[in-house]
Amino acid sequence: MEREVQSIEGHLRTMKSAFEGRIGQEVEAERRVIYFMAEYAAYLSNRLEVGKDGKTAYERSRGKKPTVLGVEFGEKLLWMKRTKEKMEKINPRWEYGIFIGVRRRSGEVFVATKEGEIKRVRSVRRIPEEQRWGLDCVNWVKGVPWNFGKGDENADGDIPEEKLVVAARGGAGAGGGSPEVVVVNTRERDPRQFYISKRDAEKHGYTRGCGGCSSWFRGLGRQPHTEECRERFRKLMGEEAKVNNLDRKRKDYEEK
């Protein structure tokens, strides 16, 4: 783990130096674009860094070679908008944005717009090299990876802005009154499914048509089990501790 951290730090330093060389000036570590740079460095390491076995981490876990978009981090490009109404067909469908990363699950591209919004798009196009780099590559990035802006469904819970204003002005509690309690709703992850090991499959038998079970035979990386397979093992392993503990955690989660 420590060696991997050193590798990510090296990728980050290289990306930052290359980005500064492109725009012609230094970038402070506090700028928002640096936050996305760290996440993209980990993304590239997972897909491009080859180990002693001649494979990348992505290839070991997925069993197939990775693909990486041939666009440099922080580069200005064109991205395609989604039309909502028929009358919008006459309007331009491409707008300028800054490339700041890729969503691992879906392969969507993260783009920062001139208005400071972070968009997840499917189609992008490169522009002439003399137009790709400038101060816009830094100034347009105003979001952060854990909160893309207003309406972000994946954003972490934050204290409401009106509460921050009251606290800054010395509101409730400043004059001796009782302090106001602020309840912040944060995301709590749904308890994970119980772990099905190869030993469990050898004991109870493999499930026909399950990708997780068949991956063991083909020598591939671990694959997710189907719902039918999990339900079968849940019934067969109902008396084991790991299944009972998960059921208790899930019940507590649903009650909250």
- How high is the pLDDT of residue 173? 47
Q: 132 and 203 in one domain?
A: no
Element (H, E) at 106: none
Tell me if 164 is assigned to some domain: yes
Q: 165 and 107 in one domain?
A: no
If one counts the domains in the chain, the total is 3
Contact yes or no for 207/223 (Cβ under 8 A): no
pLDDT over 80 (residue 19): yes
Distance CA 133, CA 99 (A): 11
CA atoms within 13 A on the CB side of 254: 6
Mean pLDDT (the chain) is 80
User: Is the model more confident about 218 or about 197?
Assistant: 197
Q: 69 and 14 in one domain?
A: yes
Q: 86 and 174 in one domain?
A: no
Q: Which residues are paired to 109 by β-bridges?
A: 102, 121
SS3 (DSSP) at 235: helix
Segment 103-126 mean pLDDT: 90
pLDDT in tens, 29-67: 888 899 999 889 989 988 888 888 888 888 888 888 888
Contact yes or no for 210/226 (Cβ under 8 A): yes
- Tally Cβ neighbours within 10 Å of residue 250: 15
Distance CA 117, CA 96 (A): 12
Q: 74 and 45 in one domain?
A: yes
Q: 101 and 163 in one domain?
A: no
Helices (H), 49-143: 57-62, 136-139
Q: 25 and 98 in one domain?
A: yes
User: Is the model more confident about 17 or about 172?
Assistant: 17
Both tokens of residue 92? 């331009």
Tell me if 212 is assigned to some domain: yes
Can you give the residue range of the structural domain that contains 53?
A: 2-139
Pick from 107-111, 171-175, 179-183: least confident? 171-175
Q: 233 and 162 in one domain?
A: no
Segment 92-107 mean pLDDT: 89
Q: 135 and 70 in one domain?
A: yes
Tell me if 150 is assigned to some domain: no
User: Is the model more confident about 168 or about 214?
Assistant: 214
Tell me if 204 is assigned to some domain: yes
What's the pTM? 0.58
Tell me if 146 is assigned to some domain: no
User: What band does 252 get if pLDDT is binned at 50, 70 and 90?
Assistant: confident
pLDDT in tens, 131-170: 999 999 999 998 888 877 666 655 655 555 555 555 445 5
Q: 213 and 135 in one domain?
A: no
Both tokens of residue 198? 């190869």
Tell me if 191 is assigned to some domain: no
Contact yes or no for 31/138 (Cβ under 8 A): yes
Tell me if 118 is assigned to some domain: yes
The residue with tokens 């990728």 is 11
Contact yes or no for 99/85 (Cβ under 8 A): no
Chain center to CA of 96: 23
- How high is the pLDDT of residue 100? 92
Both tokens of residue 140? 């347009």
Nearest to residue 42, comparing CAs of 98, 104, 99, 97?
104
Radius of gyration for the chain, computed over Cα atoms and rounded to the nearest angstrom = 24
Tell me if 208 is assigned to some domain: yes
Q: Which residues are paired to 110 by β-bridges?
A: 101, 120
Q: 95 and 129 in one domain?
A: yes
Angle at 95 between CA 93 and CA 125, to 5 degrees: 90
- How high is the pLDDT of residue 167? 47
Q: 166 and 241 in one domain?
A: no
